Amino acid sequence: MARFSLSRAAMLFGAPVALALTLAACGEDGAGSVVVVPAPQPSTTGTPTPTPTPSEIAYDVTPCFSQQIQGQTGATSTLKGIIIPDTLKLDLTRPTRWPNGRHPSDPVVDLLLATLFLDMSASGQGPNTLANIPLDPPSNDKPFSLNFPFLAAPNGSPTVASGTGSGFDFRTDADAGYVNVDRMGNPAVATALIRGPKKVEYNDDNPGVDASDKYLEEEKADLGELFHLIGDDLVGLGLKLCAKTS
């Protein structure tokens, strides 16, 4: 059998070949023989699809607004029903804990953020998921009072306004007697879901306008932006999102 060096083989196998590489060799009897060696075939594995960056992921937040929220007192409601209209709702026939009213100690920001971002039907997830981490301080820095208005005295020595104030009485005076400066319904709605130029208009409107879904698309768009910012972080923590991705 004819001999050929490793360098010669490397050169031949490394050269461009259309179909096959033919090596001619002479046998001991002098008869010629031809050995056909198939050329290496190109890999059939395709180029892997790059993983989308968080900014490239499209989030459909509609399921978040329609999902059922299991309240702390057992009653259920959709997220949309809780935040539209943006009022703190209270049913006196049921025990009080957010979202049926609230106690001063309720971690309402963590509770509402959980219902905005997380799938409430996923095993092990519920309104208390983020409150149990917690994202915010787990309790107030001072104990609450047992009497109205229940809040502790402020820290430091804040300046107290002189006089008796406006004297406005919400029970008897007409709405025209005061100016609506900011919405204080559910936490994080006016501050997180209504942003930019819509904020002033939203604060000027009354909750009755919300019932027409005037600001629903704005809330969906802003929630989608928040998902772009932290959606991948929540998934990284092993949490299941209420938004659908594509």
Give the pLDDT of residue 53: 65
Q: How confident is the model at residue 1 (pLDDT cuts 50, 70, 90)?
A: very low
Measured at the CA of 230, the angle between CA 241 and CA 232, to 5 degrees, comes to 60
CA distances from 147 to 102, 152, 157, 169, 170 (A): 15, 10, 22, 20, 20
In this prediction the pTM is: 0.68
For the chain, what are the domain ranges?
A: 56-138+180-245
Q: What is the mean pLDDT of residues 95-102?
A: 86
How many Å apart are CA 172 and CA 20, to the nearest integer? 98
Give the least confident one: 31-35, 71-75, 149-153, 237-241: 31-35
Tokens read off for 182? 């900011």
Give the pLDDT of residue 26: 37
CA Rg value for the chain: 34
Which pLDDT tens digit goes with each residue over 136-147?
A: 888 888 889 888
pLDDT above 50 for 169: yes
Which pLDDT tens digit goes with each residue over 38-87?
A: 455 555 555 665 556 655 788 999 999 999 987 666 667 899 999 999 99
